[in-house]
């Protein structure tokens, strides 16, 4: 495991010392793990959304082309 060093204001360190029951190192480690998991999930969802957006654009384009062709066909037959 890798170690990191954090700087915090002296006032906060004093307040933290008044709660010896809290494993601050473990607390910060868990917060970092949770946040990195959230950001990774968000990044993954955005990638999926981009892929879905490409498909959506294709589907809209295909639909417009179909409707345009269908309109011309119906007009030619005198149904519109």
pLDDT of residue 25: 96
Q: Are 28 and 6 in contact (CB under 8 A)?
A: yes
List the chain pLDDT tens, one digit each, 80 residues.
899 999 999 999 999 999 999 999 999 999 999 999 999 999 999 998 888 888 888 888 888 877 777 777 777 777 66
What is the domain partition of the chain in residue ranges? 10-76
Please report, for residues 66, 71, 75, the alpha-carbon distance to residue 78 in angstroms, rounded to integers and kept in the order given: 18, 10, 5
pLDDT of residue 80: 67
Q: Are 44 and 50 in contact (CB under 8 A)?
A: no
Task: Give the C-alpha separation, 32 to 3, whole Å.
Answer: 13
């Amino acid at each position: 495991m890798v170690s990191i060093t954090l700087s915090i204001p002296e006032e906060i360190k004093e307040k933290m010392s008044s709660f010896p029951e809290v494993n601050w190192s473990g607390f910060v480690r868990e917060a970092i793990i949770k946040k990195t998991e959230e950001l990774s999930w968000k990044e993954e969802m955005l990638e999926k959304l981009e892929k879905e957006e490409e498909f959506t654009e294709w589907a809209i384009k295909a639909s417009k082309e179909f409707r345009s062709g269908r309109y011309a066909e119906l007009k030619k037959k005198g149904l519109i």
